[in-house]
Amino acid sequence: MFKNFKIPLFSLRIRIFLSMVVLIIAASSLLITISIIQYKSVAKEYNQRRIENKEYFVKKHINFMLSNTSLPLTNENIKLIFKDKIHEISEIQNAEIQIYSLDGKLLKSSKEAFSVEPQSPTIQKFILRLVLSSIDKRYVDIKTVNNQKYRSSYSLIKNKKFKPIGVLLLPNIPDDGYYEKELNSFLIHLAQVYAFMIAVAFALAYFLSSFITKPINDFAEKLSVTSLNHKNEKIPFSARIKEINMLIHAYNRMTDELERNAIKLAQNERDLAWREMAKQVAHEIKNPLTPMRLTVQSFQRRFNPDDSDIKEKLNDFSESLIQQIDTMSTVASAFSNFASMPVQHNEVLNVVEVVELTLDIFNEDYIVFESEEKEIISNMDRTQLIRIITNLVKNATQAIPEEQEEKLVLVTLKRRANEVIIAIKDNGTGVLPQHINTIFEYKFTTKNSGMGLGLGIIKNIIESYNGTITFETEIKKGTTFTVTLPIINS
C-alpha cells in the first residue's frame, strides 16, 4: 500500500517555514496544556485546603464541647451532648455535620429530615478501614453528580487522651467552581492571544524563511548558469550568513578554477585538433605520392627514346602525374580553407535570391527550390552563405545512389519570426546510426575521397552567426538538414 508513497520534495524556504510553524504550534500547545494542568492542580489544592479548614473548625467546636462536658464519652452521651449544639455548629460552619460511632453507626446529624428516615445511614467498612489505617486518620471521598464534584470528609474524633471515640463526617461539600471559571476565562483569553500571536508568527516565519533562503536562491541561480563555455560572473559577498558566505567564496574560487581549466581545455583541444588534422593531411598527401613514385619508377625503367609510342607513353605519364597533383592540390585547398576561415564581409542581401542563384550552378535536374517569400533581407556574408548551400546540396546529391531511379533534392526557404530557415532534403540512403553523433566532426566522411572538413566548416560558419544546424534521417528514405540563421538588420 505504501510502496508508491513518496515524501514531497519541498524547498528549503518551505521547510524552514513549516519547521517554525510546527515549533510555534507545539510550543503553544505545550503552554496551554501546562496552564490547564497548573490550574487544575491549584483548584485541587484549593478545594483540599477548603475542606481541611472546614473540618478543622468543626472539630475545634466539637473538641471544645467534649472537653467541657462532665458526662462520660459514650455513644449515648455523645447523642445528648450534641442534641442541640450540632445544629448551632452546622449553622456557624455552614456545613452538614454527622457523627458516627467507631463501628460506623450514626449517632447524631445536623440534618433535620433524619428523624423521618426509615433506617439510619452507616459508614461503609472499607471507608472505616481507610480512616483508621491512614497516617492522619482521615479520608476524603470524591464523587461527581450531574457534572458537579462533591467531597465527603471522614476523620476520627478523639478525647483528651487522644483515644478514638467516633467518626466525623462532613458529607457532600461541593467543590468551589471559582478556579474552573477562571480556567475557562483564561483559556478564552489565551486562545484569542495565541490566535493573534500565531498569525503574527506565521507571517514572521514566512519573511524570515524568505530572508534566510534568498542568498541561497541567488546562489542557485548563479550556479545554474555556470558553464565551461563562457566566462562566469562572480558573486559579491553580500550575504549576512556565515555559511552562505562560505558557499559564495567556494563558488567564486570554483569560477576562477573553471576559467583556468577552460583555457587549458580549449588549448588542448586546439592542439589535439591540429595534430589530428596534420595526421590527416599527411595521410591524404601520402596517398597520391605512392602511385606517383611507382609511375616515375616504371617510366624510368621502361623509357626508350627510340620507341615509336614514346609520345603516347609520355602523355599518359604526364596525365597520371597531373591527376595525382590535382588530388594533392585539393587536399591542400581544403586544409587551407579550414585553417584560414576568412573574415566575414557582411552585406545587405536577399537570401532567397542568393540561394536560388547558388542552385543554378548544379546541373542535376532533380534539384527543386521552394520559398514561401520572394524576399528575405539580411545582413551577412554572401560567400559564406553560398558555401553553406553548395556544401549541403552537394552532399545531398552524393547521398543518392547513381542507380536510383527517382531522385530528389528539395531546398526550401521560409521565415519564422526573426529567423530564416533553410532545409535541404534528399531521398538518398540516409545516415547510418553509428555516424549520427560524428557527422559534424572534422575529418569525418563516408566518401572515398576528401578529408571530411565540409560539414565541420559550415557548422563553424553557421555558429559564428549564432545559428544552428540540425538533421533528421531515416535509412533508405533520406536526410533533411535544417539551417536556422538569425535575420540580421544592417
149 pLDDT above the threshold of 80: no
421 pLDDT above the threshold of 50: yes
Greater confidence, 76 or 353? 353
276, 326, 335, 340, 441 from 330: Cα distances, Å? 18, 6, 9, 15, 19
103 pLDDT above the threshold of 70: yes
116 pLDDT above the threshold of 50: no
Greater confidence, 31 or 462? 462
Residues 385, 445: contact at Cβ < 8 Å?
no
Greater confidence, 164 or 227? 164
User: What pLDDT, in 10s, does the model give residues 82-92?
Assistant: 777 787 778 77
Q: CB-side exposure of 292: number of CA atoms within 13 Å?
A: 15
Greater confidence, 204 or 394? 394
Closest alpha carbon to 123 in 82, 56, 61, 170 = 170
* pLDDT at residue 243 in the model: 66
* pLDDT at residue 210 in the model: 73
* pLDDT at residue 452 in the model: 41
333 pLDDT above the threshold of 70: no
| Domains observed in the chain | 12-182 (3.30.450.20), 242-339 (1.10.287), 343-486 (3.30.565.10)
What average pLDDT score do residues 283-290 get?
62
* pLDDT at residue 285 in the model: 65
C-alpha cell at 283: 595521410
340 pLDDT above the threshold of 60: no
* pLDDT at residue 238 in the model: 59
What average pLDDT score do residues 239-258 get?
72
Closest alpha carbon to 431 in 394, 389, 476 = 476
Q: Let me know if 407 is exposed, middle or buried by CB neighbors in 10 A (0-12, 13-18, 19+).
A: middle
241 pLDDT above the threshold of 70: no
* pLDDT at residue 412 in the model: 94
Axis-axis angle for helices 454-464, 310-340 (nearest 10):
30
Greater confidence, 407 or 95? 407
With helix as H, strand as E and coil as C, how does the chain read? CCCCCCCCCCCHHHHHHHHHHHHHHHHHHHHHHHHHHHHHHHHHHHHHHHHHHHHHHHHHHHHHHHHCCCCCCCHHHHHHHCCCHHHHHHHHHCCCCEEECCCCEEEEECCHHHHHCCCCCECCHHHHHHHHHCCCCEEEEEEEECCEEEEEEEEEEECCCCCEEEEEEEEEEECCCHHHHHHHHHHHHHHHHHHHHHHHHHHHHHHHHHHHHHHHHHHHHHHHCCCCCCCCCCCCCCCCCHHHHHHHHHHHHHHHHHHHHHHHHHHHHHHHHHHHHHHHHHHHHHHHHHHHHHHHHHHHHHCCCCCCCHHHHHHHHHHHHHHHHHHHHHHHHHHHHHHHCCCCCEEEEEHHHHHHHHHCCCCCCCEEEEECCCCCEEEEEHHHHHHHHHHHHHHHHHCCCCCCCCCCEEEEEEEECCEEEEEEEECCCCCCHHHHHHCCCCCCCCCCCCCCCHHHHHHHHHHHCCCEEEEEEECCCEEEEEEEEECCCC
* pLDDT at residue 94 in the model: 78
Asked which of 210-214, 282-286, 391-395, 468-472 is least confident by mean pLDDT, the reply is: 282-286
Which of the residue ranges 117-131, 215-229, 292-306, 443-457 has the most confident prediction, judged by mean pLDDT? 117-131
* pLDDT at residue 407 in the model: 92
What average pLDDT score do residues 358-368 get?
86
User: Which pLDDT band holds residue 2 (cuts at 50, 70, 90)?
Assistant: very low
User: Which pLDDT band holds residue 420 (cuts at 50, 70, 90)?
Assistant: very high
User: Which pLDDT band holds residue 1 (cuts at 50, 70, 90)?
Assistant: very low
What average pLDDT score do residues 292-298 get?
69
8 pLDDT above the threshold of 70: no
Q: Let me know if 83 is exposed, middle or buried by CB neighbors in 10 A (0-12, 13-18, 19+).
A: exposed
pTM: 0.38
Average pLDDT along the chain:
76
Other residues' Cβ atoms within 10 Å of the Cβ of residue 266: 12
Residues 179, 42: contact at Cβ < 8 Å?
yes
* pLDDT at residue 134 in the model: 83
* pLDDT at residue 334 in the model: 61
